[in-house]
Amino acid sequence: MDRIFLTNDPNTFHYVTMVCTRRSRLFADEGNCRILARIFDEIRKKHPFKLCSYVFMPDHVHMIVNPLRPELSTILNKIKGKSARLILDRLMRNGSERMLERLYLNVANRNYAVWMTRSAVIDLVSSEFMIQKTGYIHNNPVRAGLCKHPKDWRWSSYRGLHPANRDPIPLAVDRPADWKPDEIECARPELHLSRE
């Protein structure tokens, strides 16, 4: 994981980019997007994190997350590992030979890789930085020529962040995006140990 700023303080927002192997367009397929969305929900129940904004692009994913505990690398590894297994199973069942060829690795003990090994992570150190990155995330499909307006891209948090939206969204964002002090205290076992 490539990191800028490197902090594990509570209520630290992280801007994360995960890229598909060889920029393969796995998430141009709705089925793969549904798998990834389901995995996000699964992992945030086991390793709580607030999903503040996101976009699934055809060959990469951007998101802003706020983990409850200082375990961002665990969260990313779990998301990537589980989604990779399910997506590869789906590609094999569907006979997606061309995509499997793009994901093929010539590495011992590993035939395929859905994700590039490293994820880029930037800690967002101000509300202005968070607003700027959220705008970047939501406008990514527009800049790529995939839609005319951010609201038209299904696999984005744009509509989920606007109260006027009545359309169903495939992956909900968390509001509020901050953890409450009592939630943080309960999640940090070292606080309990120091009081005994």
Calculate mean pLDDT across residues 138-150. Answer: 97
**Position 193 pLDDT exceeds 50:** no
Nearest of 196, 174, 191 to residue 67 by alpha carbon: 174
What are the φ and ψ backbone dihedral angles of 153, each rounded to 5 degrees?
-90, 115
Instruction: Provide the pLDDT for residue 144.
Output: 97
Average pLDDT along the chain:
90
pLDDT digits (tens, 9 = 90+) for 74-115: 999 999 999 999 999 999 999 999 999 999 987 777 799 999
- Rounded CA-CA distance 187/67 in Å is 11
pTM: 0.90
Calculate mean pLDDT across residues 34-56. Answer: 97
What are the φ and ψ backbone dihedral angles of 104, each rounded to 5 degrees?
-70, 140
Pairing of strands 104-107, 110-112: antiparallel
